[in-house]
């Protein structure tokens, strides 16, 4: 064998049970998003670089450090998408969804995103996000709450237990400006000792310093002013309404004034979800409200609110019990398993299988070279209910072996339609 080519660092191959679990989580979340009136959307996997530079913001790590650029021979400046929100907003502008009389626009998505990060547990270079975006001229309380509740309930349903919700309110433009000024005044005397990233953030988006992972800066952040002290009365009222709704819904949460989220576009409500049993995984997902994104990328003056879960982190957090339950529901047990041992083959098994599958039944088969005992073992491994054996000891007939009871019957091959009918009746 020549050199084995392996997958790139920070990527995953999905197959077997992991693939089934992925599909099952996606299907669970999709059903839930549909029940909130959302429809599925799928922007392309690559987009123009400036969509993310303008949409997500230059000071965010994902744009400044982590984008996967594509070499398109200088024709266009494209990158693999590092997130969905900017693409979904671009799609809404290009397809004039904003002109719809039916607002808010509600969309959900699921697919791969790419970030050039240092791979480690729960941190990949290609990973998958499931998320929603709700867009409207003005995001009202009902839409915000719908989004937040869907976010919490989705995670709760998939993992089957209570999760830890962290929320914060970044306030209106004016509150944030006042707060940014207070932060700048606070950091100014310490700036020369802070990390180079924070020195850049100080000018580009000072809020993001609160997100810094460097120990010394984290220590300093403990004494930083809090956004909650800078909210205007109307912001405070909005936050109180959200808190009251969460209380009334019995959804536990923690108000974390340090939560600013990694992307530049957030305003108003922001939130993250953690699994108390897997805190080392980091956030299972995050989201929040944004004010200027659509305008920033050439669209109308719309607002949005959305979230995304990291699919891989949800899968890592699944308990063994949940996994088994999901796999049970996703069972691919075969109805029939074909074994053709005859020296001279004809097309009857193929025609029969086609007929059975047209009736919605699941039919698999072994390769010709397998002996009967090996083929029956394979039939068992695929949880087949019946094996259909064609051999030279029973010319013109098929043996129908009940794999549970280990009993056997036979049936003539003259009329395949009649045989198919008989077999359908067994299931």
Please give the residue ranges that form the binding site for ligand AMP (CB under 6 A): 83, 115, 117, 122-124, 127, 129, 262, 283-286, 308, 310, 312-313
Q: Where are the beta strands (DSSP E) in 31-163?
A: 39-40, 46-48, 78-80, 105-114, 126-136
List of residues 6+ apart from 180 with CB closer than 8 A: 206, 207
For the CB of residue 25, give the shortest distance to ligand AMP in the complex, in Å: 13
For residue 403, how many other CB atoms are within 10 A of its CB?
Answer: 18
Give 285 or 304: the residue with its C-beta nearer to ligand AMP: 285
**Distance from C-alpha of 104 to C-alpha of 139, rounded to nearest angstrom:** 8
The first and second tokens of residue 169, run together, are 């309110």
Q: Is the distance from CB of 365 to CB of 341 less than 8 angstroms?
A: no
Task: State the Cα angle at 153 between 150 and 158, rounded to 5°.
Answer: 120
Give 43 or 349: the residue with its C-beta nearer to ligand AMP: 43
Give 83 or 133: the residue with its C-beta nearer to ligand AMP: 83
The first and second tokens of residue 405, run together, are 């009871």
For the CB of residue 95, give the shortest distance to ligand AMP in the complex, in Å: 23
For the CB of residue 310, give the shortest distance to ligand AMP in the complex, in Å: 2
| Residue in the structure block whose two tokens are 């671009």 | 90
Give 131 or 349: the residue with its C-beta nearer to ligand AMP: 131
CA proximity to 307, closest of 273, 282, 330: 273
**Distance from C-alpha of 67 to C-alpha of 240, rounded to nearest angstrom:** 37
For the CB of residue 261, give the shortest distance to ligand AMP in the complex, in Å: 6
- The length of the chain, given as a count of residues: 427
For the CB of residue 299, give the shortest distance to ligand AMP in the complex, in Å: 21
Q: Which residue is nearest to ligand AMP (CB)?
A: 310
C-alpha torsion angle, residues 158, 306, 274, 12 (rounded to 10): 70
For the CB of residue 217, give the shortest distance to ligand AMP in the complex, in Å: 19
CA-based radius of gyration for the chain: 28
For the CB of residue 131, give the shortest distance to ligand AMP in the complex, in Å: 8
Give 106 or 125: the residue with its C-beta nearer to ligand AMP: 125
List of residues 6+ apart from 231 with CB closer than 8 A: 169, 171, 175, 239
| DSSP conformation class of 196 | H
Give 126 or 162: the residue with its C-beta nearer to ligand AMP: 126
For the CB of residue 153, give the shortest distance to ligand AMP in the complex, in Å: 17
Q: What SS3 class is residue 282? A: coil
Give 85 or 366: the residue with its C-beta nearer to ligand AMP: 85
Give 286 or 299: the residue with its C-beta nearer to ligand AMP: 286
């Amino acid at each position: 064998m020549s050199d084995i080519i392996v997958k790139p660092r920070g990527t995953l191959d999905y197959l077997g049970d992991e693939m089934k679990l992925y599909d099952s989580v996606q299907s669970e979340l999709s059903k839930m998003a549909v029940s909130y009136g959302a429809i599925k959307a799928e922007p392309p996997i690559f987009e123009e670089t400036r969509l993310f530079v303008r949409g997500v913001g230059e000071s965010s790590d994902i744009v400044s450090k982590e984008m996967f650029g594509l070499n398109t021979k200088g024709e266009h400046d494209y990158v693999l998408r590092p997130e969905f929100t900017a693409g979904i907003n671009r799609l809404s502008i290009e397809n004039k969804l904003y002109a719809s009389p039916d607002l808010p626009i509600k969309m959900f998505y699921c697919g791969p995103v790419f970030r050039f990060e240092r791979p480690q547990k729960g941190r990949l270079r290609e990973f998958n996000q499931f998320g929603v975006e709700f867009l409207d001229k003005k995001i009202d309380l009902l839409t915000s709450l719908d989004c937040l509740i869907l976010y919490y309930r989705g995670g709760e349903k998939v993992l089957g237990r209570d999760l830890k919700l962290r929320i914060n309110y970044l306030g209106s433009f004016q509150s944030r400006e006042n707060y940014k000024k207070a932060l700048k005044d606070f950091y100014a005397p310490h700036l020369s000792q802070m990390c180079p990233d924070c020195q850049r953030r100080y000018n580009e988006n000072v809020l993001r310093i609160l997100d810094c992972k460097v120990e010394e800066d984290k220590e300093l952040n403990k004494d930083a002013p809090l956004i909650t002290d800078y909210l205007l009365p109307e912001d405070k009222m909005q936050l109180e309404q959200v808190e009251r709704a969460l209380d009334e819904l019995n959804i536990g949460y923690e108000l974390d004034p340090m939560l600013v989220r990694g992307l530049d576009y957030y305003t108003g409500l922001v939130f993250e979800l953690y699994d108390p049993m897997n805190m080392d995984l980091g956030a299972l997902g995050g989201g929040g409200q944004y004010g200027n994104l659509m305008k920033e990328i050439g669209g109308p003056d719309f607002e949005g609110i959305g979230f995304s879960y990291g699919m891989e982190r949800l899968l890592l957090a699944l308990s063994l019990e949940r996994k088994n339950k999901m796999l049970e529901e996703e069972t691919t047990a075969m109805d029939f398993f074909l074994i053709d041992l005859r020296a001279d083959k004809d097309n009857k098994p193929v025609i029969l299988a086609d007929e059975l599958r047209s009736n919605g039944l699941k039919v698999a088969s072994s390769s010709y070279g397998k002996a009967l005992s090996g083929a029956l073992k394979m039939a068992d491994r695929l949880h087949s209910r019946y094996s259909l054996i064609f051999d030279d000891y029973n010319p013109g007939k098929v043996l129908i072996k009940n794999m549970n009871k280990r009993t056997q019957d036979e049936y003539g091959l003259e009329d395949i339609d009649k045989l198919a009918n008989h077999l359908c009746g067994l299931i």
